Structure 1
Amino acid sequence: MRLSRKAAGLVTAAAMLTALAPAGAAVASTVASTVASTAASPRSTCYGGRVCLYAGFDFNRGHADLWRDFIQDDADFADNNWLNWDFTNSWHSMNNETSSIRNRIGCSATLWQHPGYTGAHSTFTHDSNDGFLVNNAVSNNRASALDIWCR
């Protein structure tokens, strides 16, 4: 029996989907188990050249996984939303909601209590982590601006 090109293409596509199905199921189960766990945020590692902020203590361990990374100053968090674990917009404002920080920018970074770099502030040197901002001058859920000192 000889198949037309169109029919042969459909048979080949069906065979490829059948062969890929187990791999897709494995990926889906891995993603589901990662989301369900209370491990640290997948973003908790914070890539080099960035300052990463987290809505939860201990880099979101056991909390909703809301995070954001920065490569430059931001004078007012009120116009920023947290990102979800999968990089989608959470539609939840960052203003006065930061609980932990990782600094991988290569220089110092300062969190400020008020927009425009005013009020109480805490400075974090390169490669520093703080999973519990309550013990800092800026404190928990009070940061409204980020100043990066790479000048």
Structure 2
Amino acid sequence: MEERPVRLSKKAAGFVAAAALFTVVVPATAAVASPRSTCYGGRVCLYAGFDYNRGQIDHWRDFIKDDSNFSDNNWLNWDFSNSWRTMNNETSSVRNRIGCSATLWQHPFYTGAHSTFTHNSNDGFLANNAVGNNRASSLDIWCR
């Protein structure tokens, strides 16, 4: 039995072509989730808002090593793009997943009031710590 090719009328072929143009391909992976929902192992994550930015502008940054002066760092947006907003004196919450203790300092170069956070600790309200809310200017990671 011989197979014959299917022939479409010009009108039907036009509909098929139009449908192909408007077909939406759904990617296999979902959109990148906001970093406020987690802090990956081996990092200290800082957030511009209380409670890890929940319900607030989503500015965040993660660190794997010391940083002696936040004034030369900008927050990242939820999509990992640069916010162009300085981190200096703007931290309101912290998550520590680095594997050792980390200290937030009030002033650059590890001076002034400070608060230390042990591995796997979270603090969504830095106002109740010595370093305070919107006063952190440097980060000292003890195991690096």
TM-score category of the 2 structures, normalised to the smaller one = 0.7 to 0.9
Alpha-carbon RMSD: 2.7
Gaps of 5+ in 1: 2-10, 35-40
Where does structure 2 lack aligned partners over 5 or more consecutive residues?
6-15
- After TM superposition, the runs of 4+ consecutive aligned structure 1 residues lying more than 4 A away are none
CA deviations over 1:52-79 (Å, ceiling 9, x no partner)? 0000000000110000000000000000
Number of aligned residue pairs: 128
Q: Could you tell me how far apart the structure 2 residues matched to 1:46 and 1:129 are?
A: 10
Question: 2:101 aligns to what?
Answer: 108
- Distance in 1 between residues matched to 2:113 and 2:122, nearest whole Å: 19
2:123 is matched with which residue? 130
Aligned counterpart in structure 2 of residue 23 of structure 1, from 22, 26, 39: 26
Partners in 2 of 1:139 and 1:113 — Cα distance? Answer: 8
Write the distance in 2 (CA, Å) between the matches of 1:86 and 1:127.
24
Question: Which structure is larger by alpha-carbon Rg, 1 or 2?
Answer: 2
Q: Percent identity?
A: 74
Cα drift, residue 129 of structure 1: 0.1
| Secondary structure at the counterpart of residue 106 of structure 2 | strand
Relative to the length of structure 2, the TM-score reads: 0.80
Structure ranking higher in helix proportion = 1
Q: Distance in 2 between matches of 1:43 and 1:135?
A: 23
Instruction: Give the residue type in structure 1 aligned to 2:101.
Output: S
Deviation for aligned residue 1:23: 2.5
TM-score, normalized by length of structure 1?
A: 0.77
